[in-house]
Amino acid sequence: MIILGLVLSACSNSGNTAATTGTTKANTAPQAGGITPTPGAQKTPIANPPPGAKKGSGGTPLPANEIKPLTFNLAYNDAAIERDMAQMYTPGSATYHQFLTSDQFVQRYALSDTQLQQVKSWLTSQGYTVDAVDGLRSSIQARAKVSTIEKSLNIKLKAYTLLNRTFFMQEGEPTLPASIRGYVHSVVGLDNFALPEFKPPVGFQEQTQQANSANCKGYGAKQTLTAKKLAAAYQLDKLYAQGFQGQGMSVGIAEFSEPFSASDLANYAACAGIAVPKVETVEIDGKVKSGPGEGEAAMDVELVAALAPKANILVYQANADNTSFAQAMVDLLNRVATDHRVQVLSISYGTAESSFSESEMAAVNRSLRTLASEGISVFISSGDCGAYTLRVRQPQVAEVAFPASAPYAISVGGTHLQVNDSNVRTSETVWGEDDGTPVCQNQWGTGGGVSQNPDFKRPSWQTGKGTTTHYDGTSQAVFTATLPPAPVTAPNGLRQVPDVAAAAYPNIAIYYNGSWYASGGTSAAAPIWAAGAVLVNQALQQNGKSPIGGVPTFYTLANQAKNYHPYTDITVGNNLFYPATPGWDYSTGWGAPNFNDITQLALSE
């Protein structure tokens, strides 16, 4: 168990702004009917520590005067949301794909003015500074001294050390007074154990003659995938021919303390033959330092700009240095839902489920549910360490990445796509590479498998050919990241990932920090899907149809395909444990997109 405790923590490693702060105060929100708290209805505690952090040593109290930001996630009428969502995503229902506006969401499910004021009044009476209430009444952002937090929640905040890394987390289970307990779903920010993993894998680097100039020698060199090759492989060129390039549409991109260089983007655009996109940055939880970043933001923005060349791009930039990763994620998702300015959102970040607490995962999934109710598609990369998101192979512990494993995420796996110089797809297999190294550096291949979070039940819509294929890790000594560990089994009654896939092998041409790179990862697959989905939505909108929306739609497309082929089924390769199979599988989901077929199928409904 001690070894497993260390393994559970081994995975945690550690742009330009034209920003709008956009904080919506509570008194500007529409009237809500309020909720009736149900005693004992909440399954998870207000906050609990991540299982991967439990072997930390130290327990040194944090300075009493240190200021910590927290996000108090507010209760909703969850039963009503789930009931309405089921109808919203059931073909043939009277409310099928009748997505909600922000005002409708508040009016149907949120706290009333009086209930909201009770929570705010309690916070201020305890010594918190209330910074913002988002327009959907999903959360209150507040800050206070450590001593205030400890006294008001009846906990202690302490620093711990594990594998030479220092982090803080709570000691004890938080409590709230009965007067507001039914109005607060969870508190996020009481630990900072989970860290985003986003270093894209790299195939090769080609230096340019003159950095930051329109030197296109390296674009498409050594058979790397250009925008034209990706567009041809995934039928985007067919949508372009119909006039759909993203005009009037908006794509959101989530970044966490990861800037990008405007000159890198300009150089890429010149070589890809597109106009330099106008990118708006929306700041979350503070300003992020400028610079070229680690290459993730550059790849995200370049791929969206190249594949949806006339779409608006909004980079939601969260400062994960000021808050915990989980808190930054909740704050970002809530901001996107409140703004309701984008039709799709791409997220290329995550880490092992065991790095998050159950309460943190529940909070993020609730925010994703809100976005799905608004018809916003959220594509999240499934990870780059194959079936082993914990990043180690000895012992072999299979674990999926979060937030991709959230039931309301659209989890995107990765393929090895090859396209010839005539822009014809010659092959597409699972992205999976066992380089024999003991620790993954984001190069083992597409993430996928089964959740181990008992609250993430397998959704009713996760059905179809391949979704019941059985796997047992006993013979290969592959275990779960649970205490005690047990051989991994799939299906296990819980959420299965990924849902879909796209090119991820590091052979995609990206311009970063003055050089051309062959890059990729599921960090590339997510923005590829986001760019394609926004063109699908443009076509649907032009024909008076609703957007494709959240993850259940992608199973409907597969199971009611008629004479169309919405996906290219990937049947060759594996992610170091789960093989590709006909139909859905644990390495590439339903497969790679055929965006024109998806469009025609959606229009035929």
pLDDT tens digits, one per residue of 358-387: 999 999 999 999 999 999 999 999 999 999
What is the pLDDT, as a whole number, of residue 437? 83
Tens of pLDDT, residues 250-300: 999 999 999 999 999 999 999 999 999 989 999 999 999 999 999 999 999
Lowest mean pLDDT among 32-36, 119-123, 251-255, 408-412: 32-36
Rounded percentage of the chain residues whose pLDDT exceeds 90: 82
Residue type, position 430, single letter: V
Which of 184-198, 241-255, 387-401, 422-436 is most confident?
241-255
Q: Quick count: other Cβ atoms within 10 Å of Cβ 514? A: 17
Provide the pLDDT confidence category of residue 3 given band limits of 50, 70 and 90: very low
The C-alpha atoms of residue 376 and residue 370 are separated, in whole angstroms, by: 9
Tens of pLDDT, residues 524-552: 999 999 999 999 999 999 999 999 999 99
What is the pLDDT, as a whole number, of residue 39? 52
Lowest mean pLDDT among 89-93, 98-102, 208-212: 208-212
Q: How far is CA 259 from CA 10, 516, 569, in A?
A: 26, 18, 35
φ/ψ of 357, rounded to 5, equals -80, 165
What is the pLDDT, as a whole number, of residue 30? 52
Tens of pLDDT, residues 130-167: 999 999 999 999 999 999 999 999 999 999 999 888 99
All structural domains of the chain: 2-188 (no CATH), 208-465+494-603 (3.40.50.200)
Rounded percentage of the chain residues whose pLDDT exceeds 70: 92
Instruction: Judge whether residue 214 has pLDDT over 80.
Output: no
Q: List all residues 6 or more positions away from 75 whose beta carbon is below 8 Å from its beta carbon.
A: 35, 37, 111, 182, 183, 184, 185
Helix or strand or coil: residue 552? helix
